[in-house]
Amino acid sequence: MVAKIEMNPVRGIRTFPSFPVVMAVVGTEEKNIITLALVHVFSFNPPMIGIGVMPSRYSHELLHRSPDFSVNIPCKELVEETLFCGERSGKDVDKFEETGLTAVPGKRIGSPIIDECIVNLECRKVQVFDTGDHTWFIGEVVCAQTVDNFDRERALLYWAGEFRTLGELIRGR
Ligand SMILES: Cc1cc2nc3c(=O)[nH]c(=O)nc-3n(C[C@H](O)[C@H](O)[C@H](O)COP(=O)(O)O)c2cc1C
């Protein structure tokens, strides 16, 4: 048997090797950006994405009020903007103004997308539920856009306080 050390379960779940990191945008007039690592595909067909947001976030209230949100995947060049939107609250600052990121109207939803991101997924809210300390907002992806030269190696990942990009390929198809 492999020797193992038992750890506190709360610390144990922090061993998950890497998360995607996205900037979600919610709201129309009162639009806000929030950086999220709790983001996952909940269904491939129909395409559904869930974002996990703590009730203490300003975006939580906006997400409850809004029928939709966008999920935007930043490239490595946007690391500072991504961090800023994950450290400051829309209660206090206009994150579009402060970061210089560009809000472009969604094609199918009221919430805008972020022009500079390499992927934009427009989501219509279809389910909301609470799990422990987060609320999951599940959205059906009703419009998806990516840059022409989409290169997944430029997409940001996040783990334990560190931003990364994809590493070594261990086995191809
Ligand atoms: C890399 C990173 C990932 C984060 N992931 C989440 C997350 O998944 N859920 C969450 O509620 N907050 C997450 N946060 C924290 C929020 O982004 C942060 O509290 C933000 O200031 C909330 O903004 P708001 O008050 O404008 O909604 C993350 C922050 C960073 C830097």
Q: Whose CA is nearest to atom 6 of ligand 1?
A: 36
Verify cis geometry, omega within 30 degrees of 0, for the bond prior to 46: yes
Ligand 1 neighbour 35 (Cβ under 6 A):
yes
In angstroms, the CA 97 to CA 53 distance is 23
Q: Give CA 104 to chain center in angstroms.
A: 17
Looking at residue 160, what is its pLDDT?
A: 87
Are 104 and 113 contacting, i.e. CB atoms less than 8 angstroms apart? yes
Q: What is the CA radius of gyration of the chain?
A: 17
Ligand 1 neighbour 31 (Cβ under 6 A):
no
Considering the entire predicted model, what is its pTM?
0.97
Ligand 1 neighbour 20 (Cβ under 6 A):
no
Looking at residue 132, what is its pLDDT?
A: 97
Q: Can you name the residues that pair with 169 across neighbouring β-strands?
A: none
Looking at residue 139, what is its pLDDT?
A: 98
CA 36 to ligand 1 center in whole angstroms: 5
Domains of the chain in start order, with CATH, are 20-159 (2.30.110.10)
CA 172 to ligand 1 center in whole angstroms: 34
Q: Which atom of ligand 1 is nearest to the CA of 33?
A: 26
Q: What is the pLDDT of residues 42-83, one digit of tens each?
A: 999 999 999 999 999 999 999 999 999 999 999 999 999 999
In angstroms, the CA 60 to CA 87 distance is 15
Is the pLDDT reported for residue 18 higher than 80? Answer: no
Is the pLDDT reported for residue 41 higher than 90? Answer: yes
